Structure 1
């Protein structure tokens, strides 16, 4: 399985509820899920999101022309 990653750095002046709303929005509409969250001593949040890369196979149709 292959994953696509997105890294975010969120400043300390964003509230916890604002960050939660943003992450929920990305999860519901973009298919992202939380991989890692690191809270630094200065209050900055470093977030890594991930989502599955879905490869579509090309389909070939060999039908009859009638």
Structure 2
């Protein structure tokens, strides 16, 4: 597994755009929270779901409402 978070493709479902994000085992909860806060503040994403794996890695799904204006993507 890579040491950098990997970003999957966006999925559009109704009025929402979803993006999966994989965080490696070495990322602390505090670091993950800071990273997700930055995405929420500057790119309009919010946390939709979190999944913790046995190896300590996490997969989170971010979502944001689709708008006519172009919003910035993930800055990871």
Q: Report what 2:55 is aligned to.
A: 42
Tell me if 1:21 matches 2:19.
Answer: no
State the 4+ residue runs in structure 1 displaced beyond 4 angstroms. none
Higher relative CO (CA 8 A, sep ≥ 6), structure 1 or 2? 1
| Cα root mean square deviation, aligned | 1.3
1:54 is displaced (CA, Å) by 1.5
3-state DSSP class of the match of 1:38?
A: strand
TM-score by length of 1: 0.79
Cα deviation code 1:15-47 (max 9, x no counterpart): 111100000000000100000000011111000
TM-score by length of 2: 0.69
Alignment coverage as a number of residue pairs: 56
User: Larger Cα Rg: Structure 1 or Structure 2?
Assistant: 1
